[in-house]
Amino acid sequence: MNRRFLIVLSLFFFAAVGPAAAEQTVTQIQSLSFGSFAGHADPKRDKAAPHTVIVAPDDTVTYNGLVAGPVPAHRGEYLLEGYPPNVALRVTVTNGVLSDGSGEKFSVVDYTNNEPVTDDAGTAMLYIGATLRTSGRNNAYNSGGYDGTVDMVIEVQ
C-alpha cells in the first residue's frame, strides 16, 4: 500500500475595519492548517468525487474520502486587540485556493469561526476553521506543501 502524504497549509492576510482601525491588531498564534493526508487506498471509492478535510473552530477534524497523515490538521488561532470593549465581532473570510505552483489545486471554502466577543480590555481570541476540498476531477495531486492566501475582514457589530 503506497500512500503519498500532502502537507497543506493556509495562510492569511488581514484587513481590519471599524472604529479606530489603526489601533487594532491581529496577531497570528497559529495559522489554519489541514495537516497531511493521503487519498483513500480503497479502489471502490469514487476518486472522481470531491473529498474534504473539515477543520472546525473547536479544533475537531473530519476526513471525508481522505486518510489522515502524520502532520495533524488544526484550527487557526488569532489574538485580536485594540477593539472596543464588550462587543461582538463579525469575521468574514474569502474562499481561497491552495496550490503547490503546478498541478491540481485545492479549494478552501465554508470558513467558520467562534463568533468572538471582546472582553473589558477590547481583546478577544478568534478561532477559524474551514473545509478543504479536492477538485473531484480524478487528477493526481503532487506530494509536498500547498499554500495560498485569503482576505479576512473583522467588523465591530
pLDDT given at position 43 = 56
Q: Is residue 10 part of a domain?
A: yes
Strand extents, DSSP E, the chain: 6-9, 11-16, 25-30, 33-39, 52-55, 61-64, 66-68, 76-81, 89-93, 96-98, 106-113, 124-133, 144-146, 149-156
Q: Is residue 59 part of a domain?
A: yes
The number of domains in the chain is 1
Please answer whether residues 72 and 137 qualify as being in contact, where contact means their C-beta atoms are separated by less than 8 angstroms: no
Beta bridge partners of 128: 76, 113
DSSP 8-state class, residue 21: G
pLDDT given at position 142 = 85
Q: Is residue 1 part of a domain?
A: no
Identify the domain containing residue 35 by its residue range: 6-156
Give the tens place of pLDDT for each residue, 53-72: 999 999 999 999 888 999 99
Give the tens place of pLDDT for each residue, 6-39: 444 444 444 444 555 458 999 999 999 999 998 7
Entry pTM: 0.82
